[in-house]
A and B are shown apart, each in its own frame.
Chain A
Amino acid sequence: MLAIHCPLCGERPYTEFRYGGDASKRRPALGTMAPEAWHDYLFLFDNPKGPHREFWQHDQGCRQWLLVVRDTATNAVGEVILARNAGAGAGEGPGGR
């Protein structure tokens, strides 16, 4: 089973986490008027077969949002960091529910 190594709680089964989608996207700056920029941000996906940067929330644990690098061809999980430490390059936060 897919397991994610939470920086705070250690390795836990993925069922404790909630998926938050592609973390490589960057939201256009507020005030961006070009509809194409918003369309691309909302609707287009790189969808790689290989390493994928994505958000997960450890919602049955520490409730922290994490930034996970997972290989979509093998499900092997690589680096996991707290999303709040990921910096501006990590996109502008996960999609809410």
Chain B
Amino acid sequence: MYRYSLSRLVRHALSDRPWPRAWREAKPRSHYDVLIIGGGGHGLATAYYLAANHGMDRVAVVERAHIGAGNVGRNTTLVRSNYMMKGNTEFFEFSLKLWEGLSHELNFNVMLSQRGQIVLAHSPAQMDALARRGNIMRLNGIDAELLERAEVRRLLPYLDYSAAARFPVLGGLLQGRAGTVRHDAVAWGYARAADSLGVDIIEGCEVTGFLQDRSGVHGVETGRGRILADRVAIAVAGHSSHVAGLAGLRLPIESHLLQAFVTEPIKPFVNHVISFGAELFYISQSDKGGLVFGGHIDGFNSYTQRGQFPKVRQVAECAVALIPGMSRLKLLRHWAGIQDMTPDGGPFVCRTPIRHLYLNGGWCYQGFKATPAVGWCLAATIARDEEHPLVRCYALDRFARGAESLDEYGHGHWPYRH
């Protein structure tokens, strides 16, 4: 790998020598040990850890479009581990620990900024719920600090603390290690690092079918011909049902739209990640100065990748209810990603009923922050043909077994309500 370093930076700055490509333009070989469908953050991370942790170098990632076109570039870049349900708590903390070392691991600055995330409470019951969540986190060795109203006001002086505030702020729960990551750098960093270990990254290659018989899957049909593989993993969040359907699988997943928004850039203002407690609304400020925020899914199945305007308005109302000073900011862009929604709000990282076919999907709102841990655990699951201990709770048959729920909010089994 052409390592990035300060001396390289200086040499390139002083000469007109161009920087080399970050990864090769690979052509599909006829056979691989492992083929991963989907060149998003999860697929690329899996390929990287297959090579780095398990010494597998005959690995391919096939991507329908180009690297970074999907949800890895459409999320709101937040990373945190303030989860409460057993399984989620340990998994997301493992992920956050991997984020903390990722720039060195990949020799690529992913710009992790651990600015702290504050979840707000607007009622005494919410304060109790946050105290419980914080205690569970601390029992698992995760940093959490319960804040009273005065402490929140010191950290976030720009929230609405007036007597007229529709949802008065009573306090909050701070996770100091949470923050943001530059999402494009995650895709590019994993792609470059995986490529340097021999992984073929094949862009513009859509999978159109599986080669399978009674003994399992043996490869895929693609727009660029047939590719044989001993093991195949699906990592195509948003289209998991579609791709798994090509293999004859029916999944506990519906596809929904999640919109995200960015305002015109302003001077440093929001120095933390903030989650509203009265509605699903979260906001942070990018390094370029834009306020980046999002809310709920649009609420009905869709693959359009284009959100509905009433949701724009509702999210803007949340923003102004929480931070009145935002009312005169202009929205610069808004966009939508297609995300898998599941009956309990939890994901799937597992083997499937079809031999040699592995599934990673159903990530609901939480796919981006899970990226390094998904890569780590899915790679181990594929390499050993057995679920990594941290993802045993994310099995496809958990509803059939009546396993312990992952439902953090108790919404029931309708995907569109999570």
- The answer on a CB contact under 8 Å between B303 and A43 is no
Chain A residue nearest in CB terms to B249? A44
* Distance from A93 Cβ to chain B, minimum over Cβ atoms (Å): 13
- The answer on a CB contact under 8 Å between A43 and B302 is no
* Distance from B344 Cβ to chain A, minimum over Cβ atoms (Å): 9
Task: Determine the distance from Cα of A13 to Cα of B414 in the docked complex, in whole angstroms.
Answer: 23
Q: Which of A15, A21, A46, A75 contacts B302 (CB 8 A)?
A: A75
Query: Residues of B contacting A19 with CB < 8 Å?
Result: 299-300, 416
Quick check: which of A47-55, A58-66, A83-91 contacts chain B, the rest being far away? A47-55
Chain B interface category by residue count: 20 to 34
Chain B residue nearest in CB terms to A44? B250
Task: Determine the distance from Cα of A14 to Cα of B301 in the docked complex, in whole angstroms.
Answer: 13
Task: Determine the distance from Cα of A61 to Cα of B310 in the docked complex, in whole angstroms.
Answer: 18
Provide the B239-265 mask, 1 if CB < 8 A to any CB of A, else 0: 101100000001111110000000000
Query: Residues of A contacting B415 with CB < 8 Å?
Result: 45
Tally A-B pairs: CB < 8 A: 68
Chain A interface category by residue count: 20 to 34
Task: Determine the distance from Cα of A1 to Cα of B312 in the docked complex, in whole angstroms.
Answer: 11
Known: A1-B309, A73-B304. A35 touches B254 (CB 8 A): no
* Distance from B241 Cβ to chain A, minimum over Cβ atoms (Å): 4
Judged by a CB distance under 8 angstroms, whether A95 is at the interface is: yes
- The answer on a CB contact under 8 Å between B416 and A43 is no
- The answer on a CB contact under 8 Å between A95 and B414 is yes
- The answer on a CB contact under 8 Å between B400 and A39 is yes
Q: Which of B241, B300, B310 contacts A54 (CB 8 A)?
A: B300
Provide the A1-21 mask, 1 if CB < 8 A to any CB of B, else 0: 110000000000111000101
Query: Residues of B contacting A95 with CB < 8 Å?
Result: 414
Query: Residues of B contacting A36 with CB < 8 Å?
Result: 400
Main secondary structure on chain A at its contact with chain B?
mixed
Q: Which of A13, A14, A74 contacts B304 (CB 8 A)?
A: A74
Task: Determine the distance from Cα of A13 to Cα of B250 in the docked complex, in whole angstroms.
Answer: 32
Known: A19-B416, A45-B253, A47-B255. A72 touches B400 (CB 8 A): no
Task: Determine the distance from Cα of A52 to Cα of B413 in the docked complex, in whole angstroms.
Answer: 19
- The answer on a CB contact under 8 Å between A21 and B309 is no
Task: Determine the distance from Cα of A40 to Cα of B416 in the docked complex, in whole angstroms.
Answer: 17
Known: A13-B310, A21-B416, A42-B343. A72 touches B303 (CB 8 A): yes
Judged by a CB distance under 8 angstroms, whether B308 is at the interface is: yes
Q: Which of B239, B250, B300, B413 contacts A46 (CB 8 A)?
A: B250
Task: Determine the distance from Cα of A13 to Cα of B310 in the docked complex, in whole angstroms.
Answer: 10
Query: Residues of B contacting A22 with CB < 8 Å?
Result: 254, 301
Query: Residues of B contacting A15 with CB < 8 Å?
Result: 310
Chain A residue nearest in CB terms to B302? A72
- The answer on a CB contact under 8 Å between A54 and B413 is no
* Distance from B398 Cβ to chain A, minimum over Cβ atoms (Å): 9
Q: Shortest 3 CB-CB distances between A and B: which pairs?
A: A47-B241, A43-B252, A43-B399
Q: Which residues of B contact A (CB under 8 A)?
A: 239, 241-242, 250-255, 299-304, 308-310, 343, 399-400, 413-416
Q: Which residues of A contact B (CB under 8 A)?
A: 1-2, 13-15, 19, 21-22, 35-36, 39-40, 42-47, 49, 52, 54, 70, 72-75, 95
